[in-house]
Amino acid sequence: MTKRLPAGIALAILLSSAALGQPKFEVADVHVSPPGTRQPDGGFMPGGRVELRGFPMLELISIAYAVDDTNVVGGPAWLNSERFDIIAKAPSGVTAEDKLQAMLKELLEDRFKLVAHEGKKDLPVYILTAKKGVKLPSAAKEGPPSTARGEGDPALNNHLKCISYTMDAFAELLPQVAANFIKHPVVNETHLKGAFDFQVDWMGINIYRTAKANPDGPPAVGVFDAMDKLGLHLEAGTRPLPVILVDSVNETPTPNAEGVTAKIPTFPTEFDVAEVRPAKPLELRPGQNLGPLGQANIQNGRVEIMSATLNGLLALALNVDARNLVDGPKWMEEDRFDVIAKSGAAVPFDALRAMLKKVLIERFKLVTHEEERPMPVYVLEAGKKPKLKDSDGSARSDCNIENTDRRYYVCKNTTMTQFAERLPSVSGAYIHPPLLDLTGLKGTYDFQLYWTPKAALSTAKAGTDTASTPVDEYTVFEAVDKQLGLKLEEQKHPIQVVVIDKVERRPTEQ
């Protein structure tokens, strides 16, 4: 996807496109995503093909209008929870992304009866101001802004040189380089004119949290502290920003035309060339450890996966958690392989998975089947007195993480099933998917949960008695129990697994 434009500019482009007779997709398959779809996949493909699978309506609107999803407001509560697949083909020769965005907008209006308009609304932002008397060094030379790695206090792991940066450009840069601290746009209100050369030094979020929890170590320096050291100041606030206001949209798309899927061109089902071999040695940085997928680069129909385990490759190809690959020999977790493959055409990630699966089956003589087995999983259960506030149903169904000294997770109009689907993605150091909802609670709720990230727990919480534990420190398990009145624990439950029936240790050459 391209960089999102300000809402007002994007809407003007779309309106002018419509006035000039914007073409429509030749064919479009629009349907609700299959059950269990959790992550969006796809985008605008070469040749005017659009593959958007598992996208919430909120993200479809943000793509169509070329704005960030935080600038899409209003609409029904399900806007960010229900997911849809759109596979479409533009007329021959129409490949420009702004044209495809305008065509997607027309498709949403036609198939979902989307009605939206431009407006302004007070939204959360961070406001960048300058302290009295601040003087940043003027840029040594004219030119476009650029960044480079600087040097500084080794206790800080981010040293960013900003060269020829105006404050407007710096405000735009901050959410990109410090996303774990800054979750909203930054508005420049410094009133500093011209371009400057300066360096910003701060700790990454995990190092910062560890430092906050250890008063005897180096002082914690986050991005907000770094701004103060520059003579600037960054604080949360609200400002009126251009937005797309959703007036109405249907949850169910109109039916596809008969035979529509047969009219959409298919992707290749196998790579043009593919090499699978025992891994060649890799040069690793000091302290670097390889995960199951080793070093992977997958894009534009090309796959380069170096020093991966067969378990890691299979988990990627089958789109399953490696824990759910069972009965395979131990070497599948230990031996390392390189996979280098190329397709003549750029294909979406789902198609690449299928092509990789075919290669692995052929080269390792792999035979598998699926069945249900009792496996260790995390479950969410209701306690004696759940502490959940019933939602009035007016807010958009959503959960958002707030990175502060603790990890705040704010959910609105959220079912327990949605909560169970979303929690593992923001608490991966504690739990892994699947998290099963066994609460039996059927309502929608508004609630807030906070816990201490695992890396920032005091030594007492981490399992020693060398330090006292602050009363406000919670693991995610304790937080769910004490704050929500629910139980989060590991149990064995029947889930779908992939059974390895047969596999050869050495891959064939072809």
Per-residue pLDDT tens for 264-275? 878 888 999 999
For residues 373 and 326, the answer to whether their CB atoms sit within 8 Å is yes
Phi, psi (rounded to 5 degrees) for 105:
-60, -45
The reply to whether 97 and 196 lie within a common domain is: no
- Specify if 436 maps to a domain: yes
- Specify if 310 maps to a domain: yes
The reply to whether 153 and 222 lie within a common domain is: yes
Please give the pLDDT value at position 209.
81
Query: Which structural domain, as residue segments, surrounds residue 66?
Result: 7-119
> Between 40 and 378, whose confidence is greater?
378
The reply to whether 291 and 331 lie within a common domain is: yes
The reply to whether 355 and 386 lie within a common domain is: no
Comparing CA positions, the residue from 67, 101, 107 lying closest to residue 84 is 107
Mean pLDDT of 80-99: 91
Please give the pLDDT value at position 471.
47
The reply to whether 489 and 406 lie within a common domain is: yes
Structural domain count of the chain: 4
- Specify if 369 maps to a domain: no
The reply to whether 197 and 225 lie within a common domain is: yes
- Specify if 423 maps to a domain: yes
The reply to whether 98 and 207 lie within a common domain is: no
- Specify if 440 maps to a domain: yes
Query: How many Cα atoms within 13 Å fall on the side-chain side of residue 142?
Result: 0
Single out the residue in 338, 363, 388 at which a domain terminates: 363
| 184 Cβ contact partners less than 8 Å away, ≥ 6 residues apart | 70, 123, 124, 125, 126, 175, 236
Q: What's the rounded Cα separation, in Å, for the pair 313 and 306?
A: 10
Single out the residue in 64, 94, 119 at which a domain terminates: 119
Q: How confident is the model at residue 344 (pLDDT cuts 50, 70, 90)?
A: confident
Q: How confident is the model at residue 210 (pLDDT cuts 50, 70, 90)?
A: confident
Comparing CA positions, the residue from 167, 172, 156, 147 lying closest to residue 225 is 156
The reply to whether 145 and 113 lie within a common domain is: no
Mean pLDDT of 18-26: 70
Please give the pLDDT value at position 7.
46
* Average pLDDT over all residues of the chain: 88
- Specify if 166 maps to a domain: yes
The reply to whether 446 and 338 lie within a common domain is: no
- Specify if 202 maps to a domain: yes
The reply to whether 82 and 189 lie within a common domain is: no
The reply to whether 109 and 151 lie within a common domain is: no
- Specify if 236 maps to a domain: no
Please give the pLDDT value at position 462.
52
Q: How confident is the model at residue 385 (pLDDT cuts 50, 70, 90)?
A: very high
Q: What's the rounded Cα separation, in Å, for the pair 23 and 10?
A: 18
The reply to whether 351 and 392 lie within a common domain is: no
